[in-house]
Amino acid sequence: MAPSPTRLRRAAVQSLFFDTRFRLLDRAQAPFGLILSVSPHWGLVDETSGVRTNHHGTEVQLLADREIKPDRLVGAINLLFANDRARLLASDGIQHESLVGAGAALAARIMPGLWLGGETRYLRDYSGAALNAFSGQALYVGPTFYARLGGNAFVSAACNFQIWGGAIAAPGALDLTNFERRQIKLRFGLEF
C-alpha cells in the first residue's frame, strides 16, 4: 500500500488591494443608497489552490441598500464583476479569469452601532477576461456583523459557506475547483 501524500499547511498573504467607493445616491435623500466600488488588486497566492502566483485584476461592484425600518433594519442587493490575469510562478502559462455575481443581505441593529445579519451570494466563474467560457458556479450563505468604532472607524465581518455549486471540470454538489468551501472576510475601515 502506497503512503498517503502529505498535506502542506501554511499561512500566506494572498493579495493586496485598494478599495475606492463612490456614492452615487445617498439613501438619506433618495429612496435607496447606491455605491460604485472599484477595487484593483495584486496577488501573491492563488486563492483556491494556495500555489504561489503573480496575479492582478479589478473587482467592480454596484451596491444598493435601503432602510426597511429606519435605524433598525437594512436590506442590500449587490452586483459584481471581476477579472484577473494570473501567471503561476511554477510555469510560464498565463490565465485569464472573470467572475460575475449577485448577492442579497439583511441586517438588524441589535444595539447602537452594532448590526447583525445574514447574506446570500451567487457567483459564476469564467475562463477568459470577459466572461468567455463558463467554468463553474457557487451559492454561499452566512452571517454578517458590523460595528462602529467611534466616529469614522468601523469593523465588519462575514462568514459564508458554499451550500451548492458545480464545476465543469469536476462533478459534485459543490464547486471546489473554482471557489472556496468557506469564505471569511474581516474588514477594518476609516471613512473620510
Q: Beta strand 182-190 with 153-167: parallel, antiparallel or unpaired?
A: antiparallel
The pLDDT of residue 164 is above 50: yes
Phi, psi (deg, nearest 5) at residue 106: -140, 130
The pLDDT of residue 88 is above 50: yes
pLDDT digits (tens, 9 = 90+) for 26-53: 999 999 999 999 999 998 887 767 778 8
The pLDDT of residue 1 is above 60: no
- Domain assignments of the chain as residue spans, ordered by start: 15-190
Which residues, 6+ apart, have CB-to-CB distance to 81 below 8 Å? 59, 60, 61, 98, 99, 100
Binned at pLDDT 50, 70 and 90, residue 90 comes out as: low
Mean pLDDT of the chain: 90
pLDDT digits (tens, 9 = 90+) for 118-149: 999 999 999 988 899 999 999 999 999 999 99
Q: What is the pLDDT of residue 4?
A: 47
Mean pLDDT of 55-77: 96
How far is Cα 157 from Cα 108, in angstroms, rounded to an integer? 15
